[in-house]
Chains A and B, each alone.
Chain A
Amino acid sequence: MTSFVNIQFSNISKRYRRRSILDGVDFKLHKGQCTLLCGTNGSGKTTLLRIMAGLEKPDTGTISTGLGEIKWRSYRRALQAKIMYLHQHPYMFDATVRQNIAYALPHGYSAAERDKHIDEALQWADLEALAGVSATTLSGGESQRVALARAWLRAPAVLLLDEPMANMDQESRLRTHALLRQLKSEGMSIVLTSHDELQFQSLTDRQLRLKDGRISTDSIQTQAENVSAFPIGQTARHHTA
């Protein structure tokens, strides 16, 4: 896992037209922790996540690491290899599942090594049977597993997920939960958003509630033991990104 300095976002504000989305939010990314951003629709969860991912520039606020304050451009440049963002509905390129997963593999591997790592990722997410299928035809749950397999292969220090279980059936939720648990156990820091905090209670270490663009509650979770109902996400990793 890539070493990663804790990042502090301070006094982050963001407006769209005249509407305030975030209003002076302070947030710290803790290494190895799973943080849940919860709140109602329109509370600013996704915007905060996209700012962390470097996809949206905050109007005001500062970003600092252990080395001091850094500018937005430097943050964006530095984070590319370290932070990965998954959309609520992960985007699948117009290619096979295998090719979609291969996209995440860093350069520098031989063809044989690439095939081996992609096979491992397919096995990890229980996608072997779908390897040759066009990824654009997958269900929401299957697309999420492809996205998580890409994350597993890329191994970022921080994984940001926007409503990862929205509109999923129970089986897909359990599978996604098992894969997230596995990623967390490998030391990946995870930040996810949801309007339903109960879904992730057993996974999260910390919970932040956003209301009207501000953090209204910041609490530490006590995790319940949760044994996965699905034997997936247990393939050993043989590479580091």
Chain B
Amino acid sequence: MESLNSATFDAIRLLATGDSELWGIIGISFRVSTTAILISIPPSLLLAFMLANGRFPGRRLLISVFSTLLSLPAVVVGLTLYLVLSRQGPLGDLRLLFTQSAMVLGQVALCVPILVAMGHSAFQAADRRAWETARTLGASPLRALLTVMHEVRFGLFAVLLAAYGRIIAEVGASMMLGGNILNYTRNIPTAIALETSKGEFSQGIALGIVLLLLAFGLNGLLHYFQGKGRFAT
């Protein structure tokens, strides 16, 4: 208990004193995960909308595939992409393995199924009249889509939070594709795994605190917007 208390105290001190190594790891984590989710959002939400409102061959199969991929283990994504990006792999010439780009690819592969499957459910909850009304009022398909997204914004925001929470905390894909290189590909979860295996709990606890604060902050933001929020036409 005493060692836990002292490790927690050290963790808070590391955060408060602006330890450059620690904040470097936090920066890499946010940069990689934010890039991954920004890349994933447009195609995923568009596909989610089409799955919810379109009628085309293979639609049900696609819904089943993305729902199944929700439970895809991060290490499986890491292993698959490792094989694709390694020297002997089909994309080996791009030399992406053990780079932040590879980590981004892994996290995109993890968050796209979440955005599509859960986004599909959020769009299904939308009133079909929202789309029809927007179109009959002269909105372009893009504007009508943005209008429908606004109508289901709280559901979509919850989807984004779930996806971001999943990728910023995953360790398997980042470890295998990034290689856990200090100041380059070491992010919060891989650093926690490494420091814990070395018996250095302070940095692990400090990074854990950051993840918890992030989750708390994002959820607070969601509840804040659910209580407010009007849109400008």
Residue in contact with B233 in the complex, picked from A86, A91, A95, A154, CB distance below 8 Å? A95
Residue in contact with B129 in the complex, picked from A91, A100, A103, CB distance below 8 Å? A91
B residues 116-159 near A (Cβ < 8 Å) are 127, 129-130, 132-139, 147, 150-151
Cβ-based interface call for B230 (8 A): yes
Q: How far is the CA of A93 from the CA of B233 in the complex (A)?
A: 10
Report yes or no: A93 in contact with B132, Cβ–Cβ below 8 A. Answer: no
Report yes or no: A94 in contact with B138, Cβ–Cβ below 8 A. Answer: no
| Chain B hits for A83, CB < 8 A | 136
Residue in contact with A102 in the complex, picked from B132, B136, B147, B233, CB distance below 8 Å? B233
Report yes or no: A91 in contact with B230, Cβ–Cβ below 8 A. Answer: no
Q: Which residue of B lies closest to A107 (CB)?
A: B138
Cβ-based interface call for A213 (8 A): no
- A selection of 26 A-B contacts at a CB cut-off of 8 Å is A81-B138, A84-B137, A86-B136, A87-B133, A90-B133, A91-B127, A93-B130, A93-B147, A93-B150, A93-B151, A93-B233, A94-B150, A94-B231, A95-B231, A95-B232, A96-B230, A99-B231, A99-B232, A99-B233, A103-B139, A103-B147, A104-B137, A106-B138, A150-B137, A154-B137, A154-B138
Residue among B129, B147, B231, B233 with the most chain A CB within 10 A?
Answer: B233
Chain A residues with a Cβ closer than 8 Å to the other chain, count: 24
Report yes or no: A80 in contact with B127, Cβ–Cβ below 8 A. Answer: no
- How far does the Cβ of A76 sit from chain B's closest Cβ, in whole Å? 10
Q: How far is the CA of A74 from the CA of B138 in the complex (A)?
A: 16
| Chain A hits for B231, CB < 8 A | 93-95, 99
Q: Which residue of B lies closest to A76 (CB)?
A: B135
Q: Enumerate chain A interface residues (CB-CB to B < 8 A).
A: 53, 55, 80-81, 83-87, 89-91, 93-96, 99-100, 102-104, 106, 150, 154
Q: How far is the CA of A94 from the CA of B154 in the complex (A)?
A: 12
Report yes or no: A85 in contact with B138, Cβ–Cβ below 8 A. Answer: no
Can you add 5 more A-B contacts, CB < 8 Å, to A85-B136, A103-B139?
A84-B137, A89-B129, A91-B130, A93-B233, A95-B233
Q: How far is the CA of A67 from the CA of B17 in the complex (A)?
A: 77
- How far does the Cβ of A95 sit from chain B's closest Cβ, in whole Å? 6
| Chain A hits for B130, CB < 8 A | 91, 93
A104-B151 in contact given A91-B130, A95-B230, A96-B230 (Cβ < 8 Å): no
Report yes or no: A104 in contact with B132, Cβ–Cβ below 8 A. Answer: no
